[in-house]
Structure 1
Amino acid sequence: GHKIPGVTSPGWAHCAQCPLSPRVPLSPPVSPQETFERVFTAPGLRELPWFVLAGNHDHAGNVTAQLAYSRHSPRWHFPHYYYSLRLSLPGTNASARLLVLDTVLLCGGGDDFGAGGAPGGPQDAEAAAAQLAWLRGRLAAARHDRYVLVAGHYPVWSVAEHGPTACLVQLLRPLLRRHRVTAYLCGHDHNLQFLEEGGVGYVVSGAGNFVEESQQHGGAVPPGSLRFFFGAPASPGGFAHLRLDAHAATVTFLEATGRVLYRVALPPRDL
């Protein structure tokens, strides 16, 4: 099978432009050595390529520096704000497609911790439209790929603190359904969730830093769509692992201890 490389949103730039909040103390700039190179040092991670996307905290800092860091680290891959990767499935001549988005450029920034924290609309409507047009074209071109994964920072559907992102429900959800996308991968809410709606799997994996248990938007997602939720505050955190092979895209949610929390197998697309 094919193990999906790390897709992460590191947020290392300082938060000088973040909305002030007593829960978000401003901190001095930190280096990628402190937040990336000297953190992910396990033997299994040293040679793994990391494909990066930006979230709202990254945009509150310096995404340009993160893009430029691709030239300085052999495992850091951040070629553009949004980009496409073709993944081959070992033992077959089939392929999968990963489309990486910048949902902040698409929908705007948001205050994680303040009232009314939903994205307020793109700062550059023309750039947002260009990204959406790019995505439409890439989805159309991926019609022969066995699996198509789309990744962005903001969730489409979420039952947690931030809830669904209205902008993405309006703009992205119809495209995911129309093009039979296998799964949409995101973070932003600090827990682990799996939802399924309209034939699309929705993976929320935001429990790498801390874990938050709110399900305050449980009534805002389609009835029956939530299949799994993990938000135990005392947990050391967790992540989602995807494995692609000829038969299924298998999503496994793991706690940091290695405990398997939930697993689901998503079928290949009907080509």
Structure 2
Amino acid sequence: MALNNKTTTILLVVYTVVATVNVVAELQRFDHRPTKADGSLDILVVGDWGRRGLYNQSDVAFQMGKMGEKMNVDFIVSTGDNFYDDGLTDDNDPLFVESFTKIYTAKSLQKQWYSVLGNHDYRGNVFAQLSPALKQRDSKWLCLRSFIVNSGIVEFFFVDTTPFQDKYFTEEDHDYDWRGILPREEYLSNVLKEVEMALEESSATWKIVIGHHTIFSAGHHGNTQELVDQLLPILEEKEVDLYINGHDHCLQQISSPNSQLQFLTSGGGSKAWRGDINQWNPNELKFYYDGQGFMTLRITEDEIDVAFYDVFGEILHEWSTSKYTLKDS
């Protein structure tokens, strides 16, 4: 069918609009407003957990349930590596129920879970974890590649960090599900543009970015240089307050020497790596624990309070910050 000039022009305009949308698409947003009278927000953070309750996963879940009830938590954040060793096979995989539904059974944990993908999740069927069918199986589940949770006083920017790391595209020991990622350079460029745009437009008092991989870490995996080079400059320029990750199976806090940014690791949801720690500037490494546990956040208009708990429910480390003063506990 021959096209006249008018039709060709219209099609060209439509194509240009679609191409532009693909390059800088707006991240999907979810509103999750505080429900407490004082406007505070209480959150549990756990990562690297899905092992059918093994490696103390069930014990960590039990303590999370107790703390969740005490705090009346608003929601739970998972920092990725949700199902070991190789993600889910499909959205009917029994591992979902065995490692999630049957483990996090406390009433206080039947709140919304916001999850990102880790490298182990990419070894399985990625679309399974992203599938709406999982929410039908367990209503508290939500996992996307990159997205935003808006809680008014704070916005959480979840970032898909696995495709940033070069080694996953060259190693031969594991297969990764890169559907939806290729061409990689275009995908990464889009993610960075989307995050930068969203941070720029945010009017929230607090900005918190969450990804699976470390930016800085004294743990087994150490720094993720690709994120240091590509993501960190955006976080610093846009004055992000916290970067929260998993990946290293530990609990950790590192302070940035260049900004107010804090790097918090909550990757102790199940298997931990005892004794696996590298030397780090003690002025920056505020806390490191090579065992299982989880993290809590309490956020108000004026202050963020962070606490790390071990598998026995004992507080290991506390830290607070405000927009006016900075104090360590």
Deviating beyond 2 angstroms after TM superposition, the runs of 4 or more aligned structure 1 residues are: 9-17, 70-73, 105-111
Structure 1, gaps ≥5 residues long: 18-28, 89-94, 116-121
Q: Is the 8 A contact 1:10 1:36 kept in 2?
A: no
Aligned residue among 40, 53, 57 for 2:120: 57
Q: Is the 8 A contact 1:192 1:229 kept in 2?
A: yes
For 1:16 and 1:207, the matched residues in 2 are separated by 18
Superposition RMSD in Å? 2.6
What CA deviation, in whole Å up to 9, does each residue of 1:129-172 have, x standing for no partner? 11111011011011x21100000000000001110100011111
User: 1:226 offset after TM fit, Å?
Assistant: 0.7
Does residue 138 (structure 1) correspond to residue 183 (structure 2)? The answer is: no
Residue 164 of structure 2: aligned partner: 106
Secondary structure at the counterpart of residue 124 of structure 2: coil
For 2:125 and 2:321, the matched residues in 1 are separated by 36
Decide whether aligned partners of structure 1 residues 162 and 110 sit closer, same or farther in structure 2, where only a CA change above 3 A counts. farther
Residue 210 of structure 1: aligned partner: 271
For 1:105 and 1:71, the matched residues in 2 are separated by 28
Map 1:229-244 to 2 at 5 A. Answer: 229-232=288-291, 237-244=292-299
Residue 184 of structure 1: aligned partner: 243
Letter paired with 2:283: G
Decide whether aligned partners of structure 1 residues 16 and 254 sit closer, same or farther in structure 2, where only a CA change above 3 A counts. closer
Deviates more, 1:206-215 or 1:122-131: 122-131
Secondary structure at the counterpart of residue 207 of structure 1: coil
Decide whether aligned partners of structure 1 residues 110 and 206 sit closer, same or farther in structure 2, where only a CA change above 3 A counts. farther
Residue 167 of structure 1: aligned partner: 226
Decide whether aligned partners of structure 1 residues 53 and 99 sit closer, same or farther in structure 2, where only a CA change above 3 A counts. same
Secondary structure at the counterpart of residue 198 of structure 2: helix
For 1:16 and 1:180, the matched residues in 2 are separated by 34
Q: Is the 8 A contact 1:13 1:61 kept in 2?
A: no
Does residue 3 (structure 1) correspond to residue 39 (structure 2)? The answer is: no
What CA deviation, in whole Å up to 9, does each residue of 1:221-260 have, x standing for no partner? x66211000114xxxx201111101221111001121101
Q: Is the 8 A contact 1:150 1:181 kept in 2?
A: yes
Q: Is the 8 A contact 2:81 2:119 kept in 1?
A: no
User: 1:66 offset after TM fit, Å?
Assistant: 0.6
Residue 212 of structure 2: aligned partner: 153
| TM-score, with length taken from structure 1 | 0.80
Secondary structure at the counterpart of residue 59 of structure 1: helix
Q: Is the 8 A contact 1:182 1:266 kept in 2?
A: no
What CA deviation, in whole Å up to 9, does each residue of 1:68-100 have, x standing for no partner? 12344211112x310011013xxxxxx210000
**Which structure's residues are more often helix, by fraction?**
2
Q: Is the 8 A contact 2:87 2:122 kept in 1?
A: no
What CA deviation, in whole Å up to 9, does each residue of 1:32-79 have, x standing for no partner? 110100000012112x1100100000001112101112344211112x
For 2:200 and 2:277, the matched residues in 1 are separated by 35
Letter paired with 1:102: D
Q: Is the 8 A contact 2:83 2:95 kept in 1?
A: yes
Aligned-residue identity in percent = 25
Does residue 40 (structure 1) correspond to residue 99 (structure 2)? The answer is: no
User: 1:13 offset after TM fit, Å?
Assistant: 6.6
For 2:87 and 2:255, the matched residues in 1 are separated by 37
| TM-score, with length taken from structure 2 | 0.66
User: 1:266 offset after TM fit, Å?
Assistant: 2.0
Residue 86 of structure 1: aligned partner: 150
User: 1:31 offset after TM fit, Å?
Assistant: 2.5
Q: Is the 8 A contact 1:10 1:35 kept in 2?
A: no
User: 1:2 offset after TM fit, Å?
Assistant: 0.2
Aligned residue among 228, 234, 253 for 2:308: 253
What CA deviation, in whole Å up to 9, does each residue of 1:173-204 have, x standing for no partner? 11111111110000101111001102101101
Structure 2, gaps ≥5 residues long: 1-39, 44-74, 174-180
Structure with more relative contact order (C-alpha pairs < 8 Å, separation 6 or more)? 2
Return the index of the structure with the highest Cα Rg. Answer: 2
Letter paired with 1:38: K
